[in-house]
Structure 1
Amino acid sequence: MKYHLARGEEQLGTFNDLDVSAGLRAGRFKPTDLCWTEGMADWKPLGDHLQELNPEASPPVLEPSAISALRAEVRMDRVIRLELASRGQRLAAKLIDSVLLLAPLWIILTMFFNPAFIEEYRKLEDNPTELMNSIQRRSEEVRTSGNVVLPVASLVFDTAVITNLVLLSLRGQTIGKLILGIQVVRFPEGFPAGFVKAVLLRSLVFGILIFAGIVSFGGLGLPLLLADALMIFRQDRRCLHDLIADTLVTKRNR
């Protein structure tokens, strides 16, 4: 039986009865979440519907707990041991994404910060007003130079960023992960990670931690990056950013 679940105005997705039962025990679903399945006249709280199916059960379950625990263990084993993305795949995907983002960014910065502007920048470091005026003049010079390299590099960078954001939100993939056939999923269920986990927690929050470590804590960000990279050798291959977002990188079924 397939259930459509919602929490307030947020659609949680469509799940079978086994997933609903396991989700209730794990706390991922709540008895107050709304549910609808074929044959129901209207949406109603999940706990009320399950109580109607099994009036003697408290809390409501759809199968004996021992069987549910076994199914959850099998699901965990399948996600961790059989569908895990290889270290080589993750490294190759990271290299692809880095080239697509860092190469155009390097071109943009190199063209903007030429030797003459760098010298002027150093002279005006203590004069914020003149420095801003200098940056504006340099921006206008670059814009009117007629050189197509800079706009092309900017277009490549912007396209890569937007494409990665969309892919991560919808499929749990960056461009590199898409090419390598791997994806970011929720741990341990293997469900789609979504925007919050794949983008905000896994990428943005971890990036802020690294930046803050470099700027504010005497270079702590670099050891943090190294620790994150070395955690790929864990059995489940979950790096620090995976632990922060509670995610896992698996192979994607084609």
Structure 2
Amino acid sequence: MDSNVDFSNYSLEELHSSAASIDRDLYPERAKLIDDLILQKQQQPENQGAPIIEGDLASRGHRFAAAIVDGLIAIIVSLPMIFYVGLEKLQEETFEVMALSFLYGLTILLILHGYLLYNYAQTIGKHYMGIRVENLDGTQATFSTILLKRMLPMQVISFIPGVGSIIAGFVDPLFIFGKDKRCLHDYIAKTKVCYVDGDTDAEKAE
């Protein structure tokens, strides 16, 4: 590959094409340069209204909307457990309560999101917004990566008395405001969230 290529003069579309075709194992520094240039181009005013391109990092707005959808679903499916166990008991930080909450949450996760996560690296909210979890090289994240590297660490952190809920509930999502638009759990799992096609389901519904 020509080492004198000036990627700074490439259009956003050309950069995406280069990012998709470059051998990232052979040219890791160049691949990172292209990825950084894509991020810069996306922030330019002339590209703010540009059509969504497959592989683009998901916008903070679309990630937030997906999280709202998943959050509302989580609240609804948590009601049976709240009624059965009792809200006061669930607020107790005992091993029994934490284990019960974890197992119930995992079961519901697999029932509601398991098929989408396994086949498309998406939750219901992400599917609706047309975004998915990817590895840093742009390939679809595996089910094990999402479950064991992305979700499990934050769940374990949330069980830490005192600071756990703060880290998982506030610090984690605040990382999205960095230039890479990645939450703390993205950095832990070495993942990112990107668009899977040119139009989100939400846009198609408009």
Q: TM-score of the superposition, structure 1-length normalised?
A: 0.50
Structure 1 94/114 Cα, relative in aligned 2: closer, same or farther at 3 Å? closer
Structure 2 partner of 1:84? 57
Identify the match of residue 101 of structure 1 among 63, 69, 74: 74
Is 2:113–2:123's contact at 8 Å kept on the other side of the alignment? Answer: yes
**Root-mean-square deviation over aligned CA pairs:** 3.2
Is 1:172–1:198's contact at 8 Å kept on the other side of the alignment? Answer: yes
Identity of aligned residues (%): 29
**Structure 1 segments of 4+ aligned residues over 2 angstroms from their partners:** 68-82, 157-163
Is 1:80–1:236's contact at 8 Å kept on the other side of the alignment? Answer: no
Measure, in 2, the Cα distance between the counterparts of 1:172 and 1:166. 9
Identify the match of residue 223 of structure 1 among 166, 179, 191: 166
Alignment of 1:207-246 (within 5 A): 207-211=155-159, 213=160, 215=161, 219-225=162-168, 226-246=170-190
SS in structure 1 of the partner of residue 132 of structure 2: strand
Measure, in 2, the Cα distance between the counterparts of 1:236 and 1:195. 23
Measure, in 2, the Cα distance between the counterparts of 1:81 and 1:196. 33
Deviations 1:34-84 (A, max 9, x none): xxxxxxxxxxxxxxxxxxxxxxxxxxxxxxx6xx85455325544786511
Alignment of 1:23-34 (within 5 A): 23=25, 25=26
SS in structure 1 of the partner of residue 57 of structure 2: coil
Structure 1 71/178 Cα, relative in aligned 2: closer, same or farther at 3 Å? same
Residue segments in structure 2 that go unaligned for 5+ positions in a row: 1-20, 43-55, 90-103, 199-206
Is 2:39–2:180's contact at 8 Å kept on the other side of the alignment? Answer: no
SS in structure 2 of the partner of residue 89 of structure 1: helix
Structure 2 partner of 1:186? 135
Is 1:79–1:250's contact at 8 Å kept on the other side of the alignment? Answer: no
Highest Rg: 1 or 2?
Answer: 1
- The CA deviation at 1:198 is 1.6
SS in structure 2 of the partner of residue 248 of structure 1: strand
Residue segments in structure 1 that go unaligned for 5+ positions in a row: 1-17, 26-64, 122-153
The answer to whether the aligner puts 1:198 opposite 2:184 as a matched pair is no
Measure, in 2, the Cα distance between the counterparts of 1:208 and 1:110. 21
